[in-house]
Amino acid sequence: MAWEALAVDYFSGRISELIEQLQVLPGIGTKTAQRLAFHIISMPEEKVKRLSETMLETRKNVRYCSECYTLTDGEKCPICSSPKRNHRMIMVVETPRDLAAYEKTGKYEGVYHVLHGAISPMLGIGPGDIRLKELMVRLEADVDEVIIATNSTLEGETTAMYISRLIKPTGIKVTRIANGVPVGGDLENVDEVTLLRALEGRTIL
């Protein structure tokens, strides 16, 4: 917006550039970017250096888990590496943020598979554009149940039905989280109690 550009012009070139770069982050508008910029400027130089180094190192070293495809800095994420998790139960989610939302409940004992998206013909995203092939490879091992926890959006429901049709011929149990999650809502924005109820009330597809 014009007024946002004008607001940035109030400050010197380097401050304005910092504000502009912070606005690249999701959910960060001009006012929030300004607050963050002035906070960073007021921080001790060593802390700013550590912050920037951490961001660069994280971007450089974080990769996809070789098993579930969440983000991690090792070959496998801590969940997939844990012998305490039930590796015969796989919850399918759209993003690492959705995985984190369910982990906050502290009640799910299985493992995950992160699709990194959902099928959306309107956006040109087909089954081959998300991690479905990798999921089917995982199902060649001993798996008792696949819990489909895609979001309650048109894209999420389309993806859930597509996955169900893929898996049913294998004989593996396929379930869908219950309708406790608001229609059109993202899992990362739903409280832990609602997520837990949706998990416990899941239905067979």
0.85 cut: is pTM over it? Answer: no
**Within a domain: residue 187?**
yes
The answer on 82 and 49 residing in a single domain is no
How far does the chain reach from its first CA to its final CA, in angstroms? Answer: 46
CATH number reported for the structural domain that contains residue 200 in this entry: 3.40.1360.10
Torsion of CA 17, 19, 25, 26, to 10 degrees: -140
**Within a domain: residue 66?**
no
The answer on 77 and 177 residing in a single domain is yes
Token look-up 């597809």 returns 205
Q: pLDDT digits over 130-147, tens only? A: 999 999 999 999 999 999
**Within a domain: residue 30?**
yes
Q: pLDDT digits over 13-36, tens only? A: 888 899 999 999 999 998 999 999
- The residues with which 93 forms a beta bridge, in sequence order, are 114
Structurally, the chain folds into a number of domains equal to 2
Domain range for 47 is 2-61
At residue 170, the 3 state secondary structure works out as: helix
Distances from the Cα of 151 to the Cαs of 94, 179, 195, 204, in angstroms?
Answer: 7, 10, 11, 17
Measured CA to CA, the distance from residue 139 to residue 68 in angstroms comes to: 12
CATH number reported for the structural domain that contains residue 28 in this entry: 1.10.8.420
The answer on 105 and 31 residing in a single domain is no
